[in-house]
Amino acid sequence: MTTRDAVTVAGIDCGTNSIRLKIASVDADGVHEIVPRMLRVIRLGQDVDKTHRFAPEALDRAYAAAREFAGVLAQHPVDGIRFVATSATRDAANRQEFEDAMQRILGVVPEVIPGTEEAALSFLGATGVVRRADLKPPYLVVDLGGGSTELVLGGDGVELPATSVKAGYSMNIGSVRMTERHLCDDPPTQEQIDAAIADIDAHIEEAAETVDLGATRTIIGVSGTVTTMTALAMGLKVYDHAKVDGRRIAFDQAYEVDDRFLRMSRAERSTYKTIHPGRVDVVGGGALVWNRVLANVGAATAARGGEPLDSFIASEHGLLDGIVLDYGRRLLAVR
C-alpha cells in the first residue's frame, strides 16, 4: 500500500539477453524493495543482429517470463508499471508483435527507449546508491548488455553534481552481439578475437568523441557480464549478490580472468556454477567488451597524466534501479 509521500511501482527491464522485474516503494529517501529483482534469461536478441527480427522461440521464452511476472504482480498491487525494452527491441522489425503480446500479458505497453535514455537511467540507478567516500567523481558508469553497451559520465561534484549526467553514449556492442557476429567457433579462434577487438575498439573510439573518458576517476560497472566476471575474479564458487556488489577489482586481475574465460570452451565454462547457464555461451564475448572498455578508459586517463586508474567497482544497481527510481519520482511529483 502507499501513503501520500510514497508510491509502489514495478519496473521491468527487457534487454537482449535477460528480462528483469523489480517491485519497490519509492519515497524521498529512495527505493525500498518489496520484491527483490527477479531475472530470467530469455535471449530475446537471438539472431537479431543478423536477421533484424525476433525469432519465434525467443518470443516464446519472453512470453513465458512475462506470464511468470504477471503472477507476481497479481500478488503485489502497484501504483504503476514501467516496462522498458532496449537494444534488441530497437533493432527488431517485428517488434509490434512483441509489444502487443506483452500488453495482453502484463497490461502495460513496453517503451522502446533510445540508447541515450537507457544510458541516463543506468547512471541514475548506479549512482543513486553511491555512498562510499573512496569513490571519486567523475564516475563513468558502464552498462554492458547483450546488444548494447552504455558509457555515461557524470559531473565532477563541483561544477556539476557527481550524480548528474554530463555525457552519455550507447554503443551497439554487447555479449550476444559480439558472440554472434565474431566469436563463432567454440572456443573462438585468435582471428575471431582480433576481429571482435577491432570492432569493439572502433565503437569505443566513436563514443569517446562524445564522452570524455580521460576525465574518469571511478569506473562503476553494472550488468550481468560485469558482475559475473567480478565473481569469477573473486574466486566465488557460487554467485553471491551481496559479496559482488560494491567490490573493487584491479584491472590486471580483470584482464586475466576475462581473457581466460573468453578462450574457454562452452563446455568448460558450464562447469562453473558462478556463471548463470543462460550466459555460458555469450559471457566470453561480454568479457572481451569489458576488457576493451577498461583498457581504453585506462589509456585515456593515463594520457591526461593524472592519478592512474587501475581498478573498477562492480555494482548490482543499474538500469532496472534507474527505471524504478525515475518512475517513482515522476509519480510522486504529480500526486
pLDDT, residue 62, reads 96
DSSP 8-state symbol, 109? P
pLDDT, residue 2, reads 43
Q: Report the alpha-carbon distance of residue 251 to residue 233 in Å, rounded.
A: 11
The answer to whether the beta carbons of residues 259 and 232 sit under 8 Å apart is no
pTM over 0.85? The answer is yes
Residue 36 CB coordination number (10 Å): 10
The yes-or-no answer to whether 6-115 and 130-316 have a common fold is yes
Q: Report the alpha-carbon distance of residue 313 to residue 323 in Å, rounded.
A: 21
Question: How far from the centroid of its chain's Cα atoms is residue 183's Cα?
Answer: 21
pLDDT, residue 280, reads 96
Q: Could you tell me the mean pLDDT of each successive run of 10 residues in the chain, 335 residues long?
A: 76 93 93 92 90 95 97 97 88 92 96 88 84 84 94 94 92 95 97 98 98 96 95 97 94 97 97 95 97 97 88 93 94 89
Q: Report the alpha-carbon distance of residue 7 to residue 335 in Å, rounded.
A: 9
State residue 238 phi and psi, 5-degree precision. Answer: -135, 155
CA distances from 221 to 51, 91, 159, 316 (A): 30, 24, 24, 9
CATH 3.40.50.2020 holds for 6-115 = no
Query: So what CATH class is 130-316?
Result: alpha beta
Q: Report the alpha-carbon distance of residue 188 to residue 50 in Å, rounded.
A: 19
Q: Where are the domains of the chain?
A: 6-115, 130-316
Q: Report the alpha-carbon distance of residue 129 to residue 149 in Å, rounded.
A: 21
